[in-house]
Amino acid sequence: MAIKKIKLSCDERIVAVVPEKCYGPGWSNAPTWVYIQARDGTIRVECIQPDECTPELRALHEAGDALHRALVKAVPVERV
């Protein structure tokens, strides 16, 4: 598959890129989630599949996933 290019409007910017490993019985995936914010504050999310990644995203995926998981664990949460 070809490298996926994220299309941005002139009032949008990328605010986060989150590589993630996910898996279940008999399946696995390693998407990269791209969070895009418009000037009015709305956020949309694009997904880049492993076969759509640039070599740079592929090289950083493992470290980024580890950092993502550590950051999620570090957030104090109180379930209500």
- The tokens of 66 are what? 């580890």
1 pLDDT more than 90: no
Q: Which residues contact 18 (CB under 8 A, 6 or more apart)?
A: 32, 33, 35, 64, 68
- Contact, 14 vs 32, CB < 8 A? no
State the residue range of the domain holding 37: 12-74
Domain assignment of residue 40, yes or no: yes
Domain assignment of residue 6, yes or no: no
Domain assignment of residue 31, yes or no: yes
Q: Closest Cα to residue 4, out of 56, 66, 49?
A: 49
Q: For residue range 4-50, what is the model confidence (pLDDT) as tens digits?
A: 999 999 999 999 999 999 999 999 999 999 999 999 999 999 999 99
CA distance 14 to 36: 4
What's the predicted TM-score (pTM) here? Answer: 0.89
Q: For residue range 64-78, what is the model confidence (pLDDT) as tens digits?
A: 999 999 999 999 999
Domain assignment of residue 5, yes or no: no
Domain total of the chain = 1
